[in-house]
């Protein structure tokens, strides 16, 4: 059987991956959940038809959203991950013995269960005793927190549909309050290439600027994502990224993508992206 999973990166652009089999699929209360097996990308998680993560390149994303803030000046002990059900981000966080607690908030219990059953990394990641899972609406969860986290990672899909509330000014304001003074908010900014993503990027950037004094973004290559890359937003109350502190090296943390040079270079953005991030909409 010649089976292809196609994801539209834009109306007239799609990436298709040949699939050996659909390992699992269901319609949960919230969304369609699918786990696919492919030769080129390994196991793939798709939610509502959108590619969330693949075995082959998930570390390019997970390492960059974790090691960049962890190797910034801030002394990070308490972390909140919103989403993160596939376990990639948790796996990277757990490499730091300096982290004391990791709260994970996810809306869809079934999605968590499916990931734990079909993605080996997810099962392992949730076994770390520092991890506390909350099946809740993230907006409501964050609203109740104050001065509680040194790092919040919004490990969500694109800012459409189910995840829209995670890209609002209200949500960012709640994150601000939930963070400590030296806290960092990491969230995905889509790419700056296709028109739909450019519009999303500008909205996210404007809303963050209305809440946080420090806002920047950095680049990571993720071949299975639209345009082959993702911009990751870095917001804080004062902390700036700059040079790596080398903490990952101190703990001899092994990475496929991240290193101290990439830490710095990821913030050097192409002109067309810099212009988008600085221009008013």
61, 149, 229, 234: residue in contact with a second copy (rule CB under 8 A): 229
25, 127, 136, 256: residue in contact with a second copy (rule CB under 8 A): 256
Alpha carbon separation from 228 to 22, 57, 140, 183, 231 (Å, rounded)? 24, 11, 33, 29, 10
Per-residue binder mask for a second copy (CB under 8 A), 60-99, x = binder: x---------------------------------------
**What is the three-class DSSP state of 134?**
strand
Per the listing, tokens 């990931």 go with 115
Active-site residue (options: 103, 150, 155, 197) = 155
Alpha carbon separation from 171 to 85, 175, 205, 226 (Å, rounded)? 20, 6, 13, 25
Task: Examine residue 255 and tell whether it contacts a second copy (CB under 8 A).
Answer: yes
25, 181, 270, 279: residue in contact with a second copy (rule CB under 8 A): 270
Residue 6 — left, alpha, or beta (φ > 0 → left; ψ -120 to 50 → alpha)?
beta
Name residues contacting a second copy, limited to 190-209 (CB under 8 A): 191, 193-194
- In DSSP terms, 26 is beta-bridged to 33
Task: Examine residue 245 and tell whether it contacts a second copy (CB under 8 A).
Answer: no
97, 271, 278, 280: residue in contact with a second copy (rule CB under 8 A): 271
Range 216-252 burial, b when 16+ CB lie within 10 A, else e: bbbbbebebbbbebbbbbbbbbebebeebbebbeeee
Binding residues for a second copy, rule CB under 8 A, total: 45
Alpha carbon separation from 48 to 60, 110, 225 (Å, rounded)? 22, 14, 15
In the bound state with a second copy, the residue whose beta carbon lies nearer, of 38 and 174, is 38
Task: Examine residue 40 and tell whether it contacts a second copy (CB under 8 A).
Answer: yes
- In DSSP terms, 50 is beta-bridged to 47
- In DSSP terms, 235 is beta-bridged to 185, 215
110, 168, 177, 228: residue in contact with a second copy (rule CB under 8 A): 228
Is 252 designated active site? no
| Annotated binding-site ranges | 31, 86, 106, 137-138, 155-158
Residues that bind a second copy (CB under 8 A): 6, 10-18, 38-41, 57, 60, 191, 193-194, 219, 221-223, 225-229, 255-259, 261-262, 264-272, 274
| Annotated binding-site ranges for S-methyl-5'-thioadenosine | 31, 106, 137-138
């Amino acid at each position: 059987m010649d089976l292809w999973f196609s994801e539209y990166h834009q109306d007239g652009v799609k990436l298709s991956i040949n699939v050996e089999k659909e390992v699992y699929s269901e319609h949960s209360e919230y969304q369609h959940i699918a786990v696919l097996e492919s030769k080129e990308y390994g196991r793939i998680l798709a939610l509502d038809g959108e590619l969330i993560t693949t075995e082959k390149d998930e570390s390019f994303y997970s390492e960059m959203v974790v090691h960049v803030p962890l190797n910034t000046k801030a002394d990070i002990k308490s972390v909140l991950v919103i989403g993160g059900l596939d376990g990639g981000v948790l796996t990277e966080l757990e490499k730091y013995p300096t982290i004391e607690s990791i709260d994970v908030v996810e809306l869809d219990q079934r999605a968590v269960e499916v990931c734990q059953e079909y993605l080996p990394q997810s099962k392992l990641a949730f076994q770390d005793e520092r991890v506390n899972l909350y099946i809740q609406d993230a907006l409501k969860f964050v609203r109740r927190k104050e001065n509680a986290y040194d790092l919040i990672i919004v490990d969500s899909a694109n800012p459409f549909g189910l995840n829209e509330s995670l890209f609002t000014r209200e949500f960012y304001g709640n994150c601000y309050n939930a963070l400590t003074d030296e806290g960092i908010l990491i969230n995905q900014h889509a790419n700056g290439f296709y028109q739909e993503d450019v519009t999303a990027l500008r909205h996210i950037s404007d809303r963050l600027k209305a809440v946080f004094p420090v806002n920047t973004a950095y680049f990571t290559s993720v071949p299975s994502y639209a345009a082959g890359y993702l911009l990751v937003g870095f917001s804080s109350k004062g902390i700036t990224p700059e040079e790596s502190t080398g903490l990952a090296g101190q703990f001899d943390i092994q990475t496929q993508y991240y290193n101290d040079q990439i830490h710095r270079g990821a913030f050097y953005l192409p002109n067309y992206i810099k212009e988008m991030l600085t221009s008013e909409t």
